[in-house]
Amino acid sequence: MAKITSVSPLAPAAFPELPVIDGVRFASVAAGVRYAGRTDVMLTLLDPGSTVAGVFTRSATRSANVLDCQSKIGGDGDAGAAIIVNSGNSNAFTGKAGDGSVAAICAAVAKATGLPEARVFTSSTGVIGERLPHDRIIAKVDDLVASLDPGKGDEAARAIMTTDTFPKGACTTVALPGGEVKIAGFAKGSGMIAPDMATMLVYIFTDAKVSRADLQTMVSEINDRSFNCITVDSDTSTSDTLLMGATGASGVDVSLADSDFAQALEGVFLDLAHQVVKDGEGATKFVTVNVTGAKTDADARTHALAIANSPLVKTAVAGEDPNWGRIVMAVGKSGAAADRDRLTIRFGDVLVAENGWVAPSYKEEDGAALMKQPEITISVDIGLGAGKATVWTCDLTHGYISINADYRS
């Protein structure tokens, strides 16, 4: 896997100090899944009474881990739950051997924690098509259980990194009528990012008391407005997984009617989703694509993704070239309804084009100055209706080629 020698210029100043979420403990270890001496496995243990929800890739070639999690996620149980994750090997496209690896790992974790195997969830991330050396993971399970600690979320976040240049964490505290609750989580992701469910690998926890059904609804709906609205390279992973656990340790009941909790949770989702884009392989620019005036929201999303995924748009951004013609191209090719003569395009607050041509007020130097900023907003109004969507992406630089050309080395 390509050696990462520098941190993304868009990285936050520091990993946040994640609050302790009562009822959740973490541990990590170097198991040598792919590299000797590299921390590459993390275990999370949730106390009895916790509920778990999740969303997963809809890839037709999803991994054995994803299929196993999907089969378990709808189950209720008071026994608690465990999440064990390895980096370095995705356990995808490994046939029946992949299923056997998942079964073996689940059995080992269940034995060490006293949990039913149905409450053990696994994720694997890394190279596709190579058998997972699950014996190396199993050999470390007892060590993981013995070192579980509620304050080790930051170490767990680092253990799941592959081509990430920084660990990604987010947290918040929200005051509700019943009391204060905490939300904290972490994610990994840098390339192969065009989620069709959740994204990459994401783990979020709260001490709120939430029914499994309500938690699943919140996760699914908020995911659609956050992780499902990011793209780095238009490629959807075989392993994308988002799991969320609610321990109930605060004693504060939360339901779908609690908009303050949902808003706080969405903030954490968005924070993590944006960090993934800011760590896009080789990224130097964070780009927000706003589309309004489409016939429907679905059409707006189609247009936004066409812009965000266009290599020509992304390389223009990388080169700080305000090439608005490439935006016109992307809208035209998207397949959603559009009218050339009704398009309005803005870079930031600079009006670039309107009524089917460049705006009379537009000056190339204004567009060029805006494109030099590390965070750029591209806004397009289609002029056909009330549909709208926002998608987040990054630029496409030679760094992306360098990382992925050497990925398996």
Overall average pLDDT of the 268-297 stretch: 95
Map tokens 């944006």 to a residue. Answer: 274
- The pLDDT value recorded for residue 191 is 62
Which pTM does this prediction carry? 0.93
Kindly give the residue spans of alpha helices, DSSP state H, lying in 187-254: 212-224
Map tokens 């999303």 to a residue. Answer: 301
> Could you read off the pLDDT of 185-196 as tens digits, one per residue?
999 987 655 555
Task: Say which range, 57-61, 132-136, 181-185, 385-389, has the weakest mean pLDDT.
Answer: 57-61
Overall average pLDDT of the 36-63 stretch: 94
DSSP assignment of 373-408 equals SSEEEEEEE-SSSSEEEEEEEE---HHHHHHHHTTT
Residue 316 has pLDDT above 50, yes or no: yes
Residue 198 has pLDDT above 50, yes or no: no
Overall average pLDDT of the 152-162 stretch: 95
More confident residue, 156 or 2: 156
pLDDT tier, 2 (very low <50, low <70, confident <90, very high otherwise): very low
> Could you read off the pLDDT of 109-134 as tens digits, one per residue?
999 999 999 999 999 998 889 999 99
Percent share of the chain, pLDDT over 70: 94
Catalytic residues: 199
- The pLDDT value recorded for residue 272 is 97
How deeply is 36 buried, as exposed, middle or buried, from its count of CB atoms within 10 A (0-12, 13-18, 19+)? exposed
Residue 320 has pLDDT above 90, yes or no: yes
pLDDT tier, 266 (very low <50, low <70, confident <90, very high otherwise): very high
Task: Say which range, 71-80, 118-127, 133-142, 312-321, has the weakest mean pLDDT.
Answer: 71-80
Task: Say which range, 72-86, 98-112, 229-243, has the weakest mean pLDDT.
Answer: 229-243
DSSP H or E stretch at residue 134: helix 134-138
Residue 254 has pLDDT above 80, yes or no: yes
- The pLDDT value recorded for residue 190 is 72
Q: Which candidate, 211, 239, 249, places its Cα nearest to that of 46?
A: 249
3-state secondary structure (DSSP) of residue 292: strand
pLDDT tier, 298 (very low <50, low <70, confident <90, very high otherwise): very high
Residue 199 has pLDDT above 60, yes or no: no
- The pLDDT value recorded for residue 127 is 87
**Mean pLDDT of all residues in the chain?**
93
The most confident of 75-79, 184-188, 238-242, by mean pLDDT: 184-188
Rounded CA separation 313/290 (Å):
14
pLDDT tier, 1 (very low <50, low <70, confident <90, very high otherwise): very low
Rounded CA separation 183/251 (Å):
14
Overall average pLDDT of the 126-153 stretch: 96
> Could you read off the pLDDT of 355-382 as tens digits, one per residue?
989 999 999 999 999 999 999 999 999 9
Sheet holding 51-56, edge to edge: 51-56, 241-246, 201-206, 179-188, 168-176
- The pLDDT value recorded for residue 195 is 55
